[in-house]
Amino acid sequence: MPGAKVKAMNHTENRRSSTRHRSSRVPLRRNKFYLAGEFVALFLVSPFILFFYRHHFGGFLIPALLAVSGLCMILLWKDPDFDRRQLAGFNGFLPWLKGLPLTFIPPAAGLAIACAVFRYDLLFAFPRNRTLIWLLVMVLYPLLSVYPQELIYRTFFFHRYSRLFPTETSRILMSGLCFGLAHLFFANWIAPVLTALGGLLFARTYSRSGSTLLVSLEHSLWGNFIFTIGLGWYFYAGAISG
């Protein structure tokens, strides 16, 4: 009995020590005031800074995106509370696939019709006039742009700021809003509006599945569609004006 009691005490002490060690590794994620300041700086202030200095950063958009997503990946990887399976798992794929006809076909048809009515000059101009570049975009866009964006605005956002936005609805709304703000950079109203709406859809998918890959697949589907029908012009750094 004494031996069992000593073992139990040692086990309890080890758990306390482990908890203290884990807390010391990620203290900032537990500090709500720090998180609030970080959130405001990264997701509310930075988009406006990038907007006003967009002409200086246009050519560095993808490298900057990869750098920020890399930092987010490091923070997530070092956080013992983060489930790394969220980065590569395909949880929720079948329910998402079953709902795809309703979530994709009607709004996609609406966007194609709107493009045909208001910007007929852009309709399918990209694949028709620059076929090789279009094919490269179809392949590289999901890898170099979509996954990094979803890592930042869904995986990182949902995990790191769960204390600031404790409900599912608040996280979805703020994720969509911040995603739209990030696209002020392109200096037109279409990019932030479409991405805010898309961000709500992607955030909803991530909230239900917890899968970075699945939400990246959905984002890629929409992004490649938008580039194909011609609206990708509004998301092209070279088209920045004003």
Q: Which pLDDT score is estimated for 143?
A: 96
Q: Is residue 112 part of a domain?
A: yes
Q: Is residue 227 part of a domain?
A: yes
Domain around 70: 44-239
Q: Is residue 6 part of a domain?
A: no
Q: Which pLDDT score is estimated for 28?
A: 56
Q: Is residue 106 part of a domain?
A: yes
Q: Is 133 exposed, middle or buried (0-12, 13-18, 19+ CB in 10 A)?
A: exposed
Instruction: Report d(CA 232, CA 191) in Å as an integer.
Output: 9
Q: Is residue 19 part of a domain?
A: no
Q: Is residue 32 part of a domain?
A: no
92: left (phi over 0), alpha (psi -120 to 50) or beta: left
Q: Which pLDDT score is estimated for 241?
A: 53
Q: Which pLDDT score is estimated for 54?
A: 87
Q: Is residue 78 part of a domain?
A: yes
CA dihedral 73, 78, 80, 82 (to 10 degrees): 0
Contact in structure between 234 and 191 (CB atoms under 8 Å): yes
Q: Which pLDDT score is estimated for 13?
A: 44
Long-range contacts of 95-101 (CB under 8 A, 24+ apart): 95/208, 96/205, 96/208, 96/209, 96/214, 96/218
Angle at 230 between CA 229 and CA 231, to 5 degrees: 105
Instruction: Report d(CA 229, CA 219) in Å as an integer.
Output: 16
| Residue 125, CA distances (Å) to 87, 190, 226, 232, 233 in order | 35, 18, 12, 10, 10
Cβ atoms within 10 A of the Cβ of 210, count?
Answer: 19
Q: Which pLDDT score is estimated for 57?
A: 78
Give the number of domains in the chain.
Answer: 1
Mean pLDDT by 10 residues, the chain (242 residues): 45 45 49 93 95 84 94 95 92 96 97 97 96 97 97 97 96 98 94 98 97 98 98 79 50
Q: Is residue 164 part of a domain?
A: yes
Instruction: Report d(CA 141, CA 138) in Å as an integer.
Output: 6
Q: Which pLDDT score is estimated for 7?
A: 44
